[in-house]
Structure 1
Amino acid sequence: MPVRDVVFPAGRQALYEKNRYSPAIRSNGFLFVSGQVGSREDGSPEPDLKAQVRLAFANLNAILKEAGCTFDDVIDVTAFIVDPHTHFETIWPVVHELWGDAPYPTLTGIGVTWLYGFQFEIKVIAKLPESAAA
């Protein structure tokens, strides 16, 4: 069985070990990133919804950076929103601030009822730059 090529962002390894999952795995030229939420260093949710979305992107970008990527390398996004009917209009303008310019990645949005105390989660697949794919 091949060993997983795990990417850990600085300062958050204990959180992933506690919850028993990898933040991201490099495989065949791609980076598969676990869903990222707006968690503080201790894993607790950021209470302000807009700040929570910004923190989710900051956590995502820390993983991308550790793997040698940026959000421009992201090709597929899955966004989870608790009660999107209520929260979409607050969340989506913040996402647009952080999304970057066209062409945009593909997107699947999913409304959910529970995210472990969070309101937003973002999961991505990125194409590793040639220098980071080895």
Structure 2
Amino acid sequence: MPKREAIIPASRTALYDKHRYSAAIRSGDLLFVSGQVGSRDDGSPEPDFEAQVRLAFQRLRDVLEAAGCGFDDIVDVTTFHTDPEAQLETVMAVRSECVGAPPYPNWTAVGVTWLAGFAFEIKVVARIPDAA
């Protein structure tokens, strides 16, 4: 069984240490990314919803790149929304800027009532290219 390896972008190490979890775990050729939110550098929520979503996707990009992958390597997406009906159009617009050509990853969107002050969160599973 492959040993798990923590993946944390260098710019966010203190934040992950403070909250005692990893941005992602690499196990073999799979990368399991923790939920990414639109947090400012100090960890506080970005108040503008579209900017928060864009920042969450940027945080996701940073984690993927730290593991040697990108958006094209994602196989599974789960998003969490505090108001799905009002937010979905904005999320889909930002997502379409990041996600490449078909085949698209599978995607599950979940409505929730609480995200620790955030309105959107995204977590993924990706396959790490050339992981041996």
Deviation at 1:89, TM superposition (A): 2.6
Aligned to 1:21: 21
Could you state the TM-score of these two structures normalised by the residue count of structure 1?
A: 0.92
Give 5+ residue unaligned stretches, structure 2: none
Is 2:46 the counterpart of 1:46?
Answer: yes
Deviation at 1:85, TM superposition (A): 2.1
Per-residue Cα deviation, 1:25-58 (whole angstroms, up to 9, x for no partner): 1102100000000011100111111111110010
Instruction: Report how many residues are paired.
Output: 131
Deviation at 1:3, TM superposition (A): 5.6
SS in 2 for 1:95: helix
> % of aligned pairs identical?
60
Aligned to 1:78: 78
Aligned to 1:113: 113
Code of the residue aligned with 2:36 in structure 1: it is: Q
RMSD: 1.4
Code of the residue aligned with 1:19 in structure 2: it is: H
SS in 2 for 1:80: strand
Q: Provide the C-alpha distance between the structure 1 equivalents of 2:51 and 2:111, rounded to a whole number of angstroms.
A: 20
Aligned to 1:4: 4
Give 5+ residue unaligned stretches, structure 1: none
Aligned to 1:127: 127
Could you state the TM-score of these two structures normalised by the residue count of structure 2?
A: 0.93
SS in 1 for 2:41: coil
Q: Provide the C-alpha distance between the structure 2 equivalents of 1:128 and 1:90, rounded to a whole number of angstroms.
A: 28
Deviation at 1:106, TM superposition (A): 0.6
SS in 2 for 1:12: helix
- Pick closer, same or farther for the CA change 1:115–1:63 going to 2, 3 Å: same
Code of the residue aligned with 2:62 in structure 1: it is: A
